[in-house]
Structures are given as structure tokens and as C-alpha cells.
Amino acid sequence: MLSYLHSFHAGNFADVLKHTILVHTLNYLTQKPKPVFYLDTHSGPGGFSLNSDEAQKNCEYQNGIGILWEQTDLPEVVADYVACVGEFHQLNQNSPDSLAFYPGSPWFAAHLLREHDRLSLCELHPREQKTLLENFKHDRRIKVFSKDGFQTAIGAMPPKERRGLVLIDPPYEVKTDYDRVVEVLIECHKRFATGTYAVWYPVVQRKQIQKMLDAIKNSGIRNVQVFELGLEADTEQRGMTSSGMIMINPPWTLMQEMQNALPYLADKLAGKKAVYRIQQLVDE
């Protein structure tokens, strides 16, 4: 099933959480001079126009990056993320005021990683893959794969660099994706136990999320943190109201940064209805 297009949701509150954590993790990994390997299982096109028909349909970015874009009191970890968005915007449009472009996860990674780092980007959707190839055709660090991202991730472990970040970010169009995520994490971790893994998930049915978290908790994988941000409490009648990130072997700085950032993001993006979660799911 290849119907999902992230352009409808680019820059929304879920992207804010995902990309804030992604930026901090990449900045942390690049503090050391040794090379880093980055793999994205479901890359998308790499960037979005917020003036496109798809982005304008529900204008989800207005309740995400659109709010943060105008703030002057951002916590440092959020400010780093917003600064990256601003740089992407400037590359595409010179006007500094009206935000018109938003980067995808591949661009954040390509922008923050260095010349001696390596990136593998997986995308099966024909239109998305064509745009992804066009966006990064001149970057020799990057290989784009028209293959199943889950299987590609397993096959790439362990990377020759022995340092890396795997972003697992499926659309969850089919319910089996939740089980597949756990299977892939376990298989990748067997091959590369010291790697950092980031898993994004939508909260549509809480029971499904709890089942996934329980499976990870019982897998034997250590050092697992969970972060969630929601516009309101769980409800299955209104689709996704929260999303989360599972982090395996996260930066040691991440927990403290999110303890500062998540209350701020919850207040700015949703006010009194907001919900968030900060949890050490499994100790080191």
C-alpha cells in the first residue's frame, strides 16, 4: 500500500517532536570526529512546500512549526530545530518572514552530518522517490534505495562506521507495521547493539501503542526512552491526537533537554488540553 503522502502533515506537531529529537541526536553524534552512518527507513521526498495543495488542505503546520516560527523564548533544543527549518526555508525562498518551506528528515540529516559521514535513504512511493533522488542527486554521501526500508535496515547492520542512527518512521498504513517495527528493532539490535535507534509512532489506538511498547520492554533491549506530545488526551474518535518517539541508546543529554522542551511545546501548541510523556522505559 503506497497511498500515504507526508506532505499533508508536514510541519505539524508530530513533526515538531520528531525533528526536535532528530536534530539533537545528530548534533550529539557529530560531536566526535569519527564518522556516522544514518539510515532512514521511510524517507519521503526530503522537503515540502507549505503552499502546496496538499499542505494547504488542513494547514496542519499552523499548529506546529507555524507557532514556533514566531517565538522568541524557545528552549535551546527547540531553537536548534527551528534554526534548521529557517536555513531550509532560506535555501528555497529569500523572504525571512513568511514560512513557506519545511524540510523532511533526510534534509535534517544531510544538513547536520559531515563530509565523511554516510546516509542511506529508503523510499518506495514512486513520486516521493523521484523527488528524493532529485533533491539529493549531487550529494555523494547519500544513496537512495527503492527497497523495503525495514529489510534494508536489517541488512545494513552493523555499519562499517560502528556509529550510527537508524530512523524508523513508517506511515503505519497497515496495522502490521506496529509488529514489524518491533521485529526490525530486535534484528537490528542483535547486529548493532551500540547503535542509536529512533522510532516515530502515531497514537490512534492506545492499546496498539502499549502492545508495541510492552514488546520492546520485554525484548531484552536496554536503555529505551519514550517521549510523547499530544494536542489532547487519547480519543479514538478523532484520529491521531498524539505521537511519540522511542529512543534506544539515546544521547545522555536527551532526557534533560526534553524535560525542558516538552512542557514548553505542550503549552505553546495545545495549551491546557495538551498531554506529554517523558519516560525511561528500560534502564541502561
Give the separation between CA 81 and CA 17, rounded to whole angstroms: 10
Torsion over CA of 177, 132, 160 and 162, rounded to 10 degrees? -60
What is the phi/psi pair of residue 245, to 5°? Answer: -130, 125
How long is the chain? Answer: 284
Catalytic residue check, 169: yes
Candidate list 117, 148, 169, 283, residue with the active-site label = 169
Contact in structure between 99 and 65 (CB atoms under 8 Å): yes
Give the separation between CA 70 and CA 79, rounded to whole angstroms: 11
Contact in structure between 241 and 254 (CB atoms under 8 Å): no
Q: Which residues contact 159 (CB under 8 A, 6 or more apart)?
A: 37, 39, 118, 192, 195
Q: Which residues are catalytic?
A: 169
